[in-house]
Amino acid sequence: MLNQLKNKSGLFKDKSWEIALLGVAVLVFIFNSLASPYFLDLWNLSDATFNFTEKAIIALPMALLIIGRDIDLSVASIIAICSVAMGLVAQAGGGITLIVLTGMSVGMLAGAINGFLVTYYAIPSIVVTIGTMSLFRGLSYIILGDGVLKDYPDGFSFFGQGYVVGALSFELVFFLVVALLFYLLLHRTVFGRVVFAIGNNPTAAFYSGVAVNRYRFLLFVLVGLASGIASVMLTSRLGSTRPTIALGWELSIITMVVLGGVNILGGSGSILGVVIAVFLMGLVTFGLGLLNVPGIVMSVVIGMMLIGVISIPVLLKKYHARVGAT
């Protein structure tokens, strides 16, 4: 079963997965522009990016984490606890810098808690993060109840609502820069090679002298930090904090990563694929939105995309095997 999925990695070497994704994205783009006259509008397209950039920022380190055979289901809850912390700082009269630093450090702390529990106690990451998913979200509920925090200073709205040049939003520029950094980190540095090594065979990596647990810990902190940054942007965009903020986001984030061709069992994947998948999902949800499809029905489409995408390589392989046999 493992090998069947592992063989998928051959696909990535020749980038056919990324090309296929790009093809689908172009098709969706053309379909959308034919289906709705409102699609090909610079400001509409720019607005549409807000719906996925925050998730996409988390998807990048999540890709590394999944390549390294771990997973973090608590990201949406980390967003909530960071947002609550920032709301409290804002309420106490903290400045913008302090608020942003609070969000980022609480995120890193939450990631460090996950990483510590996973590496020190050798507990599967899925169990730990199901636990911290309840814990972090639960803490937000304890602090806020059914209340709301919204005493954010005026300039704070820039992170989620500001534009750098013209219709180019701060969020989108930030995502593109971070994506470039993660591309370099995963595909051009020793750190990236080690992540692949851990994902392919943790035991072999350990015996080759890789401090496996230190890398895994760092990846969890990185995911926490990204969730903190996403929380800054989301809170800034919404202008308020409720304990239900970003509820269920882990599903779309993991879908982005898997759609991008990252093997859920670890060992293979590329940042380019994840970035294309992010835009593809953005295009699909935006197009459905223009066609007045409600959000909950979109989740059906996303769920089907998730299952469809991981089935395709397996089905292709089965098909080839059958053709080869006859």
Partner 1 sequence: MLNLLRAKLREIYLTAIILVIAIAVTFKSADFMTSGNIIEIFNDTSILAMLALGQMLVIITRGIDLSVASNLALTGMIVALMNTQFPELSMVYFIVLAIVVGMALGAINGLLIWKLSLPSIVVTLGTMAIFRGVIFIISNGTWVNSHELSEAFISLPRTVILGFPVLNYFGLATLAAVILFVTYIKAGREIYACGSNPAAAVYTGIDVGKIQCLTFVISGAIAGLCGYLWVARYAVAYVDIANGFELQVVAACVIGGVSIAGGRGSIIGCMLGCLFLGVIKNALPVIGISPFWQMAISGFVIIAAVVLNSKPAGKKKKIILKPQSAALAS
Interacting residue ranges for partner 1, rule: CB under 8 A: 1, 4-5, 71, 117, 119-124, 126-128, 130-139, 141-142, 145, 202-203, 206-207, 212-213, 251, 254-255, 258, 264-265, 294, 296-300, 302-304, 306-307, 310-311, 314-315
What burial class does residue 118 get, using C-beta atoms within 10 Å of its C-beta: 0-12 exposed, 13-18 middle, 19+ buried? buried
Can you tell me which residue has the tokens 């509820």? 247
Nearer Cβ to partner 1, position 117 or 233? Answer: 117
| Minimum distance of partner 1 from residue 20's CB (angstroms) | 18
Q: Mapping DSSP to helix (H, G, I), strand (E, B) and coil, where does residue 14 land? A: coil
| Minimum distance of partner 1 from residue 259's CB (angstroms) | 11
Q: Which residues contact 67 (CB under 8 A, 6 or more apart)?
A: 186, 195, 196, 199, 262, 263, 266, 267, 268, 269
Query: Taking CA 45 as the corner, what is the angle to CA 284 and CA 174, rounded to the nearest 5 degrees?
Result: 95
Per the document, the length of the chain is 326
40 in Cβ contact with 34 (< 8 Å) = no
Nearer Cβ to partner 1, position 94 or 266? Answer: 266
| Minimum distance of partner 1 from residue 255's CB (angstroms) | 8
Nearer Cβ to partner 1, position 4 or 189? Answer: 4
| Minimum distance of partner 1 from residue 265's CB (angstroms) | 6
90 in Cβ contact with 157 (< 8 Å) = no
The amino acid sitting at 110 is: A
Nearer Cβ to partner 1, position 217 or 286? Answer: 217
| Minimum distance of partner 1 from residue 277's CB (angstroms) | 14
Nearer Cβ to partner 1, position 37 or 209? Answer: 209
Q: How many CA atoms lie within 13 A of 144 on its CB side?
A: 27
Nearer Cβ to partner 1, position 145 or 166? Answer: 145
Q: Identify the CA nearest to 257 among candidates 244, 236, 235, 272.
A: 272
| Minimum distance of partner 1 from residue 213's CB (angstroms) | 6
The amino acid sitting at 278 is: V
